[in-house]
Amino acid sequence: MTNATKRVTPGQDVFLVEYPGQFAQREPLAATAHCARLFKGFRVAWQINTCRHLLREAKRWFWAPTETRAQVHNSEGLLAQLLTDWEEAIRCHQRALTLFHQAGNRPGIAYALNNLGLAYQGRGKPEKVVEYCKASLQLSQELDDEANMARAMGNLSLAYRQLGQLDEALAYAEQSLAHFRQLRSLSRRSNPE
């Protein structure tokens, strides 16, 4: 079993939350992947202080690959969005975008662009939402990333509605819904119950 595929046992969760840096130095790939899963779970459960602790620790991983640092900033931006701190969310997603560009990670770039659009949605700047989400949509189409295409189209629909361009909003909403239905159908076929 490689470091990348090594799973973390449930008993190690407490260790990872309290001392993620130490675990990351011993098992960097496994720790990074598990830390991301923990962060998502804690964010969904609104365990904000635990999320902040994980992010503070992860920011100390100066030796981490550029993509990992980009993901940390992206996660920090998502947490700021959850707390409606739009300016901080924008700063974090901009940092993530810069790092994803440096790493040449095109899916990360598309994701960060879409998240920037979401942050500007929270700031009430629909023109910026259109700018970033269209760029995300274009890149997602090039990458054939159906999930990010659907999200970008949904965000564009909301922005165009805010701008009073209802035909454009409806067109993007319908396209987004079609993509989400296709993803659900694919998911059901690959995971029959």
Domains of the chain in sequence order: 1-64 (no CATH), 66-193 (1.25.40.10)
Average pLDDT over residues 58-64: 58
**When comparing pLDDT for 67 and 19, which is higher?**
67
Average pLDDT of the residues of the chain? 78
Contact 133, 117 (CB under 8 A): yes
Phi, psi dihedrals of residue 144, rounded to the nearest 5°: 60, 40
Under the banding of pLDDT at 50, 70 and 90, the label for residue 9 is: very low
Average pLDDT over residues 121-129: 95
**94 pLDDT exceeds 50?**
yes
pTM of the model: 0.71
**156 pLDDT exceeds 70?**
yes
Phi, psi dihedrals of residue 164, rounded to the nearest 5°: 80, 10
Contact 115, 93 (CB under 8 A): yes
Amino acid at position 138, single letter: Q
Q: Where are the alpha helices (DSSP H) in 62-165?
A: 66-82, 86-103, 106-122, 126-143, 146-162
Contact 13, 38 (CB under 8 A): yes
Tell me what pLDDT residue 2 has.
Answer: 37
